[in-house]
Chains A and B, each alone.
Chain A
Amino acid sequence: MKAAHYWHCFVGIQTREWLRFWQQRTRFASALVRPLLWLVVFAAGFRAVLGISIIPPYQTYITYETYIAPGLCGMIILFNSMQGALSMVYDRELGSMRVLLMSPLPRPFLLVTKLLAMGAVSVGQVYVFLVLALLVDVEPPLWGYLAVLPALILTSLMLGALGLLIATWIKQLENFAGVMNFVIFPMFFMSSALYPLWRMNEASPWLYWICQFNPFTHAVEAIRFSLYLEWNPMAFGLTAGVTIVLALLATAGFRPQRTKILGTNPA
């Protein structure tokens, strides 16, 4: 196959994802309600409880809203990726997956492209969220909006691959409630999304270490630092490394017979 074939395939998968996004725009808009509630209500309540010291990448005292905004960007991607991965192997996307897998192009390419396309829609949502966050004075530098793009794409691919891996191999987690309780919430709460990790260290050192081992922490930090035009090689490097490993595992280990793509679920 020539490079042009790959390119046409990539564009086709992206186009389809955006067409579906447009068809279901109300669903996507309602998905923004969750992070906005966190930003407006939860943050307002918590602001009084939690004092924030000056920590990198911020150069001054910041509001709690400003602190959790990058974490909420991560949360949007986290929810979307898990939901997207489940729908790829269990429900809404089954038809499109059957068509996808009939392509003569290599499967790892098809799956990564699909994850990137779903991720692109999540990234679009993150930008809408960041624009709305301006209303509560979360105002990163203008170039930060551009600088954060690679971190957002990387995070979406990492979490999409994780979702695909889980959906393919852990049958007990085939419904969203299970994934929410056992994947999304632990990943979200045991990360630096809602509180700086030095605070966690004061409260419980072993929880602190769990947070440090949570790849979502580093994804959130990569988003946070790049949004404020600071370079954090560790956060970025770890996110990139975990993304590569998860993408390899998820695509190489993908077995349609472990899903409902075939029509039945015999395995």
Chain B
Amino acid sequence: MGCGHRSHFMTIEARNLSFRYGDKPVLREVSFALTSGGFHALLGPNGAGKSTLFGLLTRLLALQQGDVLMAGQSLKKQPAGAMRQIGVVFQQNALDLDLTVRQNLLYHAALHGLSHKEARLRGDRELTRFQLLERANEPVRKLNGGHRRRVEIARALLHEPSLLLLDEPTVGLDVASRRGLNDHVRMLCEADGLTVLWATHLIEEVRPEDRVLILHEGKLLADGAGNDICEAEGTRDLAETFHTLTGAG
């Protein structure tokens, strides 16, 4: 799976990120470092600043303060190098519904400078792995929500990034599809040594052994293994920790 390209050191390091819309601060001095492959949950209620943080990590928002290093490449100084390290799945659908699954993948691959031949090869390989190859020539519109998300993940991995960012990827999916998608990404994590940052406000998508970052009102309130955070807070489980820290359910 080409995971030989993927580096396992300091995959992502956010340094002192602050961001404000006009006078309104949305992120305050957020710093964290994800050091190796694995599933990381970015947990926060709606409005906590998760999407803003994703905007900064994906360069859709310009950095106001602080910097982000992706596998050692500064987003500020080496944006191209940093962008090559990340694959992104946005909260909102970013597929062309009228185009086929394969056409969507080829478009993304071309944007990363891959030749048509190489793109087709990698696309088919990913689709095979995602059990979607037989649907490659169907318009995305014909796929259900869960499958569309899988196509988006397959697409995000085409250029073999070391880090996969997913911004609330299960929004709009039913419970079974949500669980399926979550399991699927965890499987990728193990198979490829991929570092995953999964933003969510749904506590059931996080396992106690996951590394968890809890974001609330623009501040990082906790950062560590779920179990350790619970222990430190003296709570029974993550749900209770989350509730105690954020006042949310």
Of the residues B22, B80, B107, B108, contact of A15 by C-beta under 8 Å: B107
Of the residues A98, A100, A264, contact of B51 by C-beta under 8 Å: A264
Residue-wise interface mask of A (210-234) relative to B, using a CB-CB cutoff of 8 A (1 in contact, 0 not): 0000000000000000000000000
7 A-B residue pairings within 8 Å (CB atoms): A5-B112, A13-B107, A16-B99, A96-B96, A104-B80, A263-B51, A267-B22
Of the residues B55, B106, B115, B116, contact of A257 by C-beta under 8 Å: B55
Does any Cβ of A come within 8 Å of B132's Cβ? no
Does any Cβ of B come within 8 Å of A178's Cβ? no
A contact residues around B106 at 8 Å (CB): 12, 15
| In contact, A263 and B111 (Cβ under 8 angstroms) | no
- How long is the Cα–Cα vector from A102 to B116 in the complex, in angstroms? 18
Stretch with Cβ within 8 A of A (4 or more), from B2-10, B30-38, B85-93, B185-193: B85-93
Does any Cβ of A come within 8 Å of B98's Cβ? yes
How many inter-chain contacts with C-beta < 8 Å in the A-B complex?
108
With contact pairs A12-B110, A98-B94, A104-B112 given, residues A19 and B99 touching in the complex (Cβ less than 8 Å): yes
| In contact, A24 and B83 (Cβ under 8 angstroms) | no
- How long is the Cα–Cα vector from A244 to B239 in the complex, in angstroms? 56
| In contact, B99 and A23 (Cβ under 8 angstroms) | yes
Does any Cβ of B come within 8 Å of A1's Cβ? yes
With contact pairs A104-B81, A257-B60 given, residues A6 and B113 touching in the complex (Cβ less than 8 Å): yes
| In contact, A95 and B94 (Cβ under 8 angstroms) | yes
| In contact, A102 and B88 (Cβ under 8 angstroms) | yes
Given contacts A9-B112, A12-B110, A104-B84, 8 further A-B contacts (CB under 8 A): A2-B113, A15-B106, A15-B110, A99-B108, A102-B86, A103-B83, A103-B111, A104-B113
Residue-wise interface mask of B (2-41) relative to A, using a CB-CB cutoff of 8 A (1 in contact, 0 not): 0000000000000000000110000000000000000000
Which A residues from 86 to 120 make CB contacts under 8 A with B? 94-96, 98-106, 110
Give A17's nearest chain B residue, CB to CB: B107
A contact residues around B95 at 8 Å (CB): 95
Give B86's nearest chain A residue, CB to CB: A102
Does any Cβ of B come within 8 Å of A256's Cβ? yes
Give B84's nearest chain A residue, CB to CB: A104
A contact residues around B90 at 8 Å (CB): 98, 263
| In contact, B113 and A8 (Cβ under 8 angstroms) | yes
- How long is the Cα–Cα vector from A96 to B107 in the complex, in angstroms? 9
- How long is the Cα–Cα vector from A266 to B207 in the complex, in angstroms? 32
| In contact, B110 and A105 (Cβ under 8 angstroms) | no
| In contact, B91 and A263 (Cβ under 8 angstroms) | yes
B contact residues around A4 at 8 Å (CB): 113, 115
A contact residues around B94 at 8 Å (CB): 94-96, 98-99
| In contact, B92 and A263 (Cβ under 8 angstroms) | yes
Give B168's nearest chain A residue, CB to CB: A263
Closest chain-A Cβ to B92's Cβ sits at a distance in Å of 5
Of the residues A2, A16, A100, contact of B103 by C-beta under 8 Å: A16
| In contact, B109 and A12 (Cβ under 8 angstroms) | yes
Give A3's nearest chain B residue, CB to CB: B113
| In contact, A98 and B110 (Cβ under 8 angstroms) | no
How many residues on B have C-beta within 8 angstroms of the other chain's C-beta atoms? 38
Does any Cβ of A come within 8 Å of B114's Cβ? yes
B contact residues around A105 at 8 Å (CB): 80, 111, 113
Spell out A's residues near B (CB within 8 Å). Answer: 1-2, 4-6, 8-9, 11-13, 15-16, 19-20, 23-24, 94-96, 98-106, 110, 255-257, 261-264, 266-267
| In contact, A9 and B83 (Cβ under 8 angstroms) | no
- How long is the Cα–Cα vector from A24 to B113 in the complex, in angstroms? 27
A contact residues around B99 at 8 Å (CB): 16, 19-20, 23
Of the residues B22, B86, B96, B112, contact of A20 by C-beta under 8 Å: B96
- How long is the Cα–Cα vector from A170 to B171 in the complex, in angstroms? 31
Closest chain-B Cβ to A266's Cβ sits at a distance in Å of 5
Which B residues from 68 to 91 make CB contacts under 8 A with A? 79-81, 83-84, 86, 88, 90-91
- How long is the Cα–Cα vector from A1 to B78 in the complex, in angstroms? 12
Which B residues from 202 to 224 make CB contacts under 8 A with A? none
- How long is the Cα–Cα vector from A13 to B83 in the complex, in angstroms? 18
- How long is the Cα–Cα vector from A20 to B92 in the complex, in angstroms? 20
| In contact, B80 and A101 (Cβ under 8 angstroms) | no
With contact pairs A104-B112, A257-B60 given, residues A16 and B107 touching in the complex (Cβ less than 8 Å): yes
Give B95's nearest chain A residue, CB to CB: A95
With contact pairs A4-B115, A23-B98 given, residues A104 and B83 touching in the complex (Cβ less than 8 Å): yes
Give B159's nearest chain A residue, CB to CB: A104
- How long is the Cα–Cα vector from A23 to B111 in the complex, in angstroms? 21
